[in-house]
Structure 1
Amino acid sequence: MVKLGGSVLSSPEDFMRAAEVTKRDFEAGNEILLVVSAMKGQTDQLIDMARKVGASGELLDAIAGLGEVLSARLMASALNSIGVPSVAIDPCSPIWPIYTDGSFGDADPDIPTTCGAAISNIEHMLGKCVPVVCGYVGKTREGKLTTLGRGGSDTTAVILARCLRADEVVLVKDSGGIMSADPKIAGNAHKLSNLSAEEALTLSMGGAKVLHHKAVRYLSPTVRMRVLSIDGGSFVRGGTIISGHIPELKVEVHEKPVSMVTLIVDGDLNGLDLRPLSESKLDKAVILYLDEPPEEVVKKVHPLVERGVVKAISVKKDLAMIKVWGGAIEDVPGVINKISDPLASMGINIHGLQTVHNKIAVFVDWKNREVAASELEEALG
């Protein structure tokens, strides 16, 4: 499963170059399905024009996806011209596989319907030809045209890889993989060889533009993701490998009691020999959550009091850390209230609550951990 981004499809020469790489890998015995984005800048132009003439809803989505239709037909033509049998598949095709809900502009995939269509319509083609599927676009079961939102072509490729039980989904970008930082900002940024799905989701939700968080969310645990550049001359090696799986929504209780250590800080905490499970800072207060014995923590920190870095220390023992996380958190409106309100209604005090993108950690008394976790599972569905 290979997705070609718009940044690598900007000219006829780009299409022919991608076709030549596809041909080498296909003739080496690899089953390949291509998912293509619109050419660079084309979707923005289409949306801008559509809005200026008053298009909205389904009509706006139908216009926004025309760039992918063009790319699919150009890519299939390029492949056929060099002897690789290929067929373009767009929402008008009788074998179209991508089905969604009716949320125009940012639709979510209908996984069961999509998998059924992909297996029935496309699976038998693999290895015999190279299907080229429009990324980003979809349609409802009623036939209304939709789009999957920004980065939607990545999502298309990941979903098809999941449905067709691919070994790997390859996202071809203009970078050689996922970098340690934005190379435009950090001159010594380097390519990462591998990431877990959880790490990749955290980076993408934090603003890393090379990867869309919705694509990571739908990654199957049996499918590797590879992010690479076409410059390597192959889609089956190099780049950054992402492996693992993101649950839709999960409630987990940390296996050991946790201590909340509060520091009133007057200086720099560098060199502190602690590995907190979580931490937060506001003004002069630093709060560390650790599963080390609190007495040991105080012994490690108190020398900073003597040096004038920390003014005072307090410890609250025997807390439980309950982590709520998963790809579906962004789909839960008022998720913080859905965590705090049920616990409050049961008289369970929340000693701390922290959020990092798709993860929320809530701290309650250790004795209440089981009933609190059960209540959260029920409240969050």
Structure 2
Amino acid sequence: MGSDILVYKFGEKCVATADGIDRIVDVVRDTVGSGWKLVVVVAAIEGVTDSLLTLCRYSELGIEGKIEEYLDLIRRTHSSLVEKALRRVESRESVSKRIDKVLEDIKSTLYTCLKLREVTPRARDYIASTGEVLSSIIVASRLREEGVEAVDLAGWESGIVTDSRFGDATPLIENSRVEVSRRLKPLVDRGTIPVIAGFSGATVDGSITTLGRGGADYTATILAACLDADEVCLWTHVDGIMTADPKIEGKARTIDRLSYEEAVELARFSVKGLHPRVFDPVISKGIPVRIRNLFDKSRQGTLIGPGKPEIDRRIVKTVVLIRDVALLAVEGTGMVGLPGVAAKVFEALGRAGVNILMISQSSSEANITMVVDRSSLDKGVSALESTVTGSLVSSIYYEPDVCIVSVIGAGMRGTPGVAARVFKAVASKGINVRMIAQGSSEYNISFVVKEEDGEEAVRAIHDEFRLYEA
């Protein structure tokens, strides 16, 4: 892009230990020493956001003792890190006071919610966003100890403007561009390194919002787009995106390069916790995104970038296993030829807050089969039973013990016989496929099998397409 700006995001395991923070300092100094301007985005320490959301639930339930217990746990987690990561007494004292102030502020909000037995979406986002704020305070302080001019900022202080869909807000890119140029760009231009708390932004009227799962990654790409950055690097604890989960397939290897299109398919299935919209801000700008291992800088990781999808002899790039899902189907001859039935099914599930991961419908129109999060199965069944059963739907069927296997690669598009090879490999292991779906892009074939068969299916496909070969 020619701006000489890089955006680095450091993940939850990178900021969780003194060793990780020391490595962050080394990377930042090396990058700045090479002449780059830099913006840093940090995640919350692993488990902290979950603890904050648990605090919200305890406030709604009126369990005061648990509020104190979890706040103390969060305080001790960060206090321990401060003692190990910061070298100077004055730094430790200053940061400890700031951490105490942040926790006292959310404690006050939690007790207000406790009295009302209600946590509004606005309050939940404010509370949930504080984990990243605490990380940014510590990391910025450690950088200053090493003589690096750094300032910590919350996501909303950096200029990210969103809509008011609390919990899963969408950035307003043009508004954000104006605010980031006004607030962040002057700091970057004078050589100051902003350490941004990821995961959050603010509405036009200043209410704090969160960007949904993987929101710190999303923060990084939003800022990169607003600053016309040259590259985004998502620093994590893994070598990049793999051909399969190495815990399932020991021969899995790191993929050197993916197209945006392939990466978007992966993000839809939560691979490595990527936000499903993480690439949206950078695609139109052609800004590449690299995923690297902070704890092994000798590896270049996976580069995700513009241009035509890279098609190589492997055809398939990666095989993904998605657990904790359930099959949910509606059946009935009353559905045949009647417009609007599918819309009623999806509307009922949407009102109940059930996210649909996959959809398949028989050509007879007498069956619609879906895959949903397993945690949402009960409320999905209840929603359908109360709205669509009767003359249209005669039965509701579900299976809680299934998983999705997704086969992804740009080389699949227009290549005859890929599906045949996938299902032949699975059948050779005696595995029955319960449901199949493929998008029009042809970059992805997904199917459902019993949970006990998922890992074997991944290994069979990995071998069939020889994904272990470099």
Partner of 1:356: 439
Q: Are the structure 2 counterparts of residues 91 and 194 from structure 1 closer, same or farther at C-alpha, using a change threshold of 3 Å?
A: closer
Distance 1:277 1:223 in 2: 34
**Cα distance, 1:119 vs structure 2:** 1.3
Equivalent residue in structure 2 for 1:33, among 30, 34, 39: 39
Q: Does 1:18 align with 2:82?
A: no
Structure 2 letter corresponding to 1:82: E
Q: Identity rate of aligned residues, in percent?
A: 34
Equivalent residue in structure 2 for 1:105, among 118, 142, 167: 167
Correspondence list, 1:178-197, <5 A: 178-197=241-260
**Cα distance, 1:277 vs structure 2:** 9.5
Question: CA deviation digits over 1:1-53, x for unaligned, max 9?
Answer: 00011121112332232112211211221111001110111100011111210
Distance 2:240 2:186 in 1: 31
Asked if the contact 2:155/2:219 (under 8 Å) is kept, the reply is no
Q: Are the structure 2 counterparts of residues 215 and 278 from structure 1 closer, same or farther at C-alpha, using a change threshold of 3 Å?
A: same
Structure 1 letter corresponding to 2:258: L
Distance 1:359 1:163 in 2: 32
Distance 2:167 2:420 in 1: 36
Distance 2:281 2:156 in 1: 25
- TM-score when normalising by structure 2: 0.52
CA RMSD of aligned residues (A): 2.9
Question: CA deviation digits over 1:59-112, x for unaligned, max 9?
Answer: 01100010111111111101000010001111574xx31111111111111111
Q: Which has the larger radius of gyration?
A: 1
Q: Are the structure 2 counterparts of residues 169 and 360 from structure 1 closer, same or farther at C-alpha, using a change threshold of 3 Å?
A: closer
Structure 2 letter corresponding to 1:66: T
Structure 2 letter corresponding to 1:161: A
Asked if the contact 1:21/1:233 (under 8 Å) is kept, the reply is no
Higher mean Cα deviation, 214-223 or 144-153?
214-223
Distance 2:248 2:417 in 1: 29
**Cα distance, 1:210 vs structure 2:** 4.6
Partner of 1:276: 416
Distance 2:148 2:294 in 1: 18
**Cα distance, 1:207 vs structure 2:** 4.1
Asked if the contact 1:171/1:227 (under 8 Å) is kept, the reply is yes
Partner of 2:196: 133
Partner of 2:210: 147
Runs of 4+ in 1 over 6 A off after TM superposition: 277-281, 357-361
Partner of 1:174: 237
Partner of 2:152: 88
Q: Are the structure 2 counterparts of residues 92 and 202 from structure 1 closer, same or farther at C-alpha, using a change threshold of 3 Å?
A: closer
Q: Are the structure 2 counterparts of residues 50 and 358 from structure 1 closer, same or farther at C-alpha, using a change threshold of 3 Å?
A: farther
Q: Are the structure 2 counterparts of residues 143 and 357 from structure 1 closer, same or farther at C-alpha, using a change threshold of 3 Å?
A: farther
Q: Does 1:64 align with 2:128?
A: yes
**Cα distance, 1:358 vs structure 2:** 7.8
Distance 1:59 1:145 in 2: 9
SS at match of 1:218: helix
Partner of 1:326: none
- TM-score when normalising by structure 1: 0.63
**Cα distance, 1:142 vs structure 2:** 0.8
Q: Are the structure 2 counterparts of residues 275 and 64 from structure 1 closer, same or farther at C-alpha, using a change threshold of 3 Å?
A: same
Question: CA deviation digits over 1:293-331, x for unaligned, max 9?
Answer: xxxxxxxxxxxxxxxxxxxxxxxxxxxxxxxxxxxxxxx
Correspondence list, 1:1-381, <5 A: 1-54=7-60, 55-90=119-154, 93=157, 96-126=158-188, 128-220=191-283, 221-233=285-297, 238-244=300-306, 275-276=415-416, 355-356=438-439
Q: Are the structure 2 counterparts of residues 278 and 112 from structure 1 closer, same or farther at C-alpha, using a change threshold of 3 Å?
A: farther
Partner of 2:63: none
**Cα distance, 1:278 vs structure 2:** 9.0
Q: Are the structure 2 counterparts of residues 154 and 119 from structure 1 closer, same or farther at C-alpha, using a change threshold of 3 Å?
A: same
Distance 1:168 1:47 in 2: 32
Question: CA deviation digits over 1:137-159, x for unaligned, max 9?
Answer: 11100111110000011111001
**Cα distance, 1:206 vs structure 2:** 3.1
Gaps of 5+ in 2: 1-6, 61-118, 309-413, 424-436, 445-470
Structure 1 letter corresponding to 2:295: D
Higher mean Cα deviation, 12-21 or 166-175?
12-21
Partner of 1:297: none
Q: Are the structure 2 counterparts of residues 155 and 38 from structure 1 closer, same or farther at C-alpha, using a change threshold of 3 Å?
A: same
Q: Are the structure 2 counterparts of residues 92 and 146 from structure 1 closer, same or farther at C-alpha, using a change threshold of 3 Å?
A: closer
Distance 1:240 1:89 in 2: 28
SS at match of 1:184: coil
